[in-house]
Amino acid sequence: MRSNAKTLRRPQQFVDAGLAPPERLAALERVAARYAVAVTPAIVSLIEEADPHDPIARQFVPDPAELELMREERADPIGDHAFSPVEGIVHRYPDRVLLKLVHICAVYCRFCFRRETVGPGKANALSSDQLAAALAYIGERPAIWEVILTGGDPLVLSARRLGDMMGKLAAIAHVKVIRVHTRIPVAAPERITPALVRALKIEGKATYAVVHANHPRELAPSVRAACGRIIDAGIPMLSQSVLLAGVNDDADTLAHLMRAFVECRIKPYYLHHGDLAPGTGHFRTSIARGQDLMRALRGRYSGLCQPTYVLDIPGGHGKSPIGPSYVTTHVDERGAARCQIEDFHGRRHDYPPAIKRRNTPRTSA
């Protein structure tokens, strides 16, 4: 593991740090010209340089494979744009909206589904007029019960700016829940200061924090301490992860990740199937593989460790659970519909169970 005092942003820095071979420099320059690149010291310290297949490096160090585009990939893979009535708002579901405050992150994941809209060269944040229009949109629609702060990463904001934003949302009476999606506790745990935690907590509203991590090694002691500061303040934490080939697409790694979350008092929430973002084909698994992994978790690991495996349907049609089914139906010899339920050993059981007839002794006349 190597510690580095600066965030790596240029391909030459990756070569100098021993995280990329010199012969890849020209290709990595092409990757960096198209997609944002940033790896914080906290993430660099987790990378095992001697392992050419290191699962942390795979997530964050640019790779020439990102230049290989597939026909099915698209710039807006989950259809945010089609459901964006005003800048910064995505209103796909009736009772909640996304509010994309910023378009920058502390680190840039190589599989990011918003990779075409975040990072240097893009707008960094909503303007004051755009923010006012977004808040007005929320305020004018009483059906909006929850606001999800995303981006980019909303926790790149200072405690003062974040607190100001939370206060504005608190003033909207029908908004009851504010959810914050972030990678900061993993990417820059030192940013989770007491002041930032205080900014997240609002009187009269329920705040939830959702942290993104994909491998158990990401939950280092400093990360666990940062999450603990949030949870100890009374803010529940959930997790979201992405199923990634070469990172967590084996049952042991996935189980250890989910157990690590639970040990940190973080409830596993979503396991996302990889989106069709440009240049990310080398990360995607098959849905069948994801279903097999979910079967491997079920029954063998605590119910607390079970995320919901979901796919964001391309075109903006929303998330759907795509985990394995444990129920089949059939028609019995009497023409009645019956179910069979599969247990975690793979055995099937009729439900309701068949009633066995009892043999009753004959009585003589």
Name the residue among 271, 180, 262, 179 with its Cα closest to residue 224. Answer: 262
Set 93, 269, 338, 339: catalytic member: 93
- Which segments of 58-173 are extended strands (E)? 89-93, 96-100, 146-150
Q: Residue 49 contacts by C-beta under 8 Å, 6 or more apart in sequence?
A: 1, 2, 18, 19
Q: Which residues touch 346 (CB under 8 Å, ≥6 apart)?
A: none
Is 227 tagged catalytic?
A: no
Q: Is residue 93 among the annotated active site residues?
A: yes
**Residue pointed to by tokens 């392992």:** 51
Among candidate residues 108, 112, 137, 179, the one labeled active-site is: 112
Exactly one of 35, 58, 109, 115 is catalytic; which is it? 109
Burial (0-12, 13-18, 19+ Cβ within 10 Å), 113: buried
Q: How many secondary structure helices (H) and strands (E) does the chain include?
A: 11, 12
- Identify whether 109 is a catalytic site residue: yes
Is 208 an active-site residue? no
326 a catalytic residue: no
The burial class, CB within 10 Å (0-12 / 13-18 / 19+), for 313 is middle
Please identify which of the residues 9, 34, 319, 338 carries the catalytic annotation: 319
Give the helix/strand (H/E) hosting 266. Answer: strand 266-272
Active-site residue, from 58, 100, 110, 114: 114
Q: Is 92 a catalytic residue?
A: yes
The residue assigned the tokens 């990678």 is 183
**Considering 74, 96, 141, 295, which one is annotated as catalytic?**
96
**Candidates 35, 105, 137, 284; catalytic one:** 105
Check if 153 is active-site: no
What's the Cα-to-Cα distance from 137 to each of 89, 169, 179, rounded to whole Å? 8, 12, 18
Catalytic residue check, 339 = no
Annotated catalytic residue within 227, 275, 305, 309: 275
Identify the CA nearest to 117 among candidates 156, 157, 77: 77
Catalytic residue among 58, 92, 115, 183: 92
Which tokens is 283 given?
């990360």
- Half-sphere exposure of residue 315, counting CA atoms within 13 Å on the CB side? 3
Which residues are marked as active site?
92-93, 96, 105, 109, 112, 114, 275, 312, 319
